[in-house]
Structure 1
Amino acid sequence: MEVLLKVLTVGGAAYAALLGLVFVLQGHLVYFPDLGRQIVQTPKDAGLAYEAVWLTTEDGVRIEAWYIPAPAARGAALLAHGNAGNISHRVDYAPMFHRLGYSLLLFEYRGYGRSEGRPSEEGTYADARAAWRHLVAERGFPPERIVLVGESLGGAVVARLAADERPGALVLASSFVSVPELAAELYPWLPARWLARYRYDALEALGRVSSPVLIAHSRQDDIVPFRHGERLFAAVKGPKAFLELAGGHNDGFLFSREAWREALGGFLAQHLPAGAMSPAPR
């Protein structure tokens, strides 16, 4: 009996220590800025002209962004990427939006790529707001001509932005309901909901979004289960559409790129104003 008690005591202490470690270091499970700090390509490599700009957030952090203009643009897309890599890994989005007639702003989170600072939940929200202000105030795009696009963690970022502003449309690709919900599924042996210091509650934000919403998700997603996309879709109160992708979490768009472009183009044509914008002076 004494041996059993000692084993249980040591095991309990070890488990408690593990919980404490996870609580303190969970930022390393949410953000992966070091996976691809190097700039591997630019829109120029895709044959597109672009402008590198530096934005200053409301808390004084300088973040990098790339603006890729489309001729006679119908509007602009603002892309928030996932929790790994940087904007140079999202250049493939540029030709797609270019063909659809939308300029694209790829913005970098703080602590990622060449941007200043360290990533945090409130910080990523502030980064997205800085990108939004750039499109509206500096580029002259009316909110109803802007489509917010978020992949994975970026979906929660732009969902919050869409709840606070009123963009022309919101697109969530391979996004999750919230960090506590996803963590509970990925780490069932931990009290993840209780430990979570990060929320990224896309489900709550969607309840406050009035813009049309397109949800894209794959049944083969190996990180964010398909049911997350279904729950997000069910939470949308206004106009909405669902696109089922193919492939894993990080390659779903590669397996269904043409279907993705056609579905996105049809959705934007239905919900955003038709016709090209007059160029706004800067």
Structure 2
Amino acid sequence: MSQFKPWVKPLNQTAIEPTGNGWQIEYDFFDCQGDVLACLAYTLFQDNWHQIGLGHLEQGSVLELEFHQAPKKCVLYDGYLTVIAQDWHFHLCIEETLGGPDSETPPELRQQRLINKGAFYRRINPEGNPRSWGIQFWNGAGDKVMTIFLPNPYIEEENLLPDGKANFDKLELYNELREIYLLGIKPLPFTKNPFKCSYIAVCTSGRCYPSRKWQPTFDALKVAVEKAELDIEVRTAGCLQVCKLGPVAFYSDDRTWYTRVNSNVAKTIVNEHLVKGNKVIEHCYPPKSV
């Protein structure tokens, strides 16, 4: 595991994209690898959900979403960041995705899916004045995959402010993020990757009948972890990619999947694997020889 580095190294790379009628987008690119991208994602979606919008912006198509409450879940699994709002959710590949316990994702596809380029942008009008601010992400295939809309001083709620009434205090988040993630004049606001915590997750997906019996497994894991006084989060998860073999559990520290985890098996996993480091081989997936 690479050492966490608290400072971002500036790339000093810019680009201009004409968008027609004299308008253009000014991009300032930043390092969006590994821990840096994780820190930025956490800062945006966990700490500043109330200030941002997100979606997809291309010629002929604009999708805009916003949060009305804090996300119900903001977690990282198999390279994908999953953020769940009240009525919608999204997945964003911020680390290499292996494709579950069988590592089914081909290497070239892993690189295509992974976010490998990011930039702070300003949309400039024909008079040379910025009129909107945000962050743009591209995947390894060079496709624009997500746009983050940052607070706009010319807009209040959904209305344009009258001429001369712009509230430039709303650029505080944009400027602060640039200082950290683009210019590198302030350190990252974390001492480690905020998504890298020890956890054991239980699949709650309704796609397969066995996983619908997840609650006793979750409860048993939670009680056993608390009894052992472990600093490990017990959480629920969507599909853990081991269908029809539920209840399924996943331990993050060493990427171990467990199948057919009833309450008794859950206690054994905690006492043997999480406490002593001995995997419960007969319930591992893929099956492991003793």
Higher-Rg member (1/2): 2
Would you call these one fold, judging by a TM-score over 0.5? no
Higher helix share: 1
For normalisation by structure 1, the TM-score amounts to 0.20
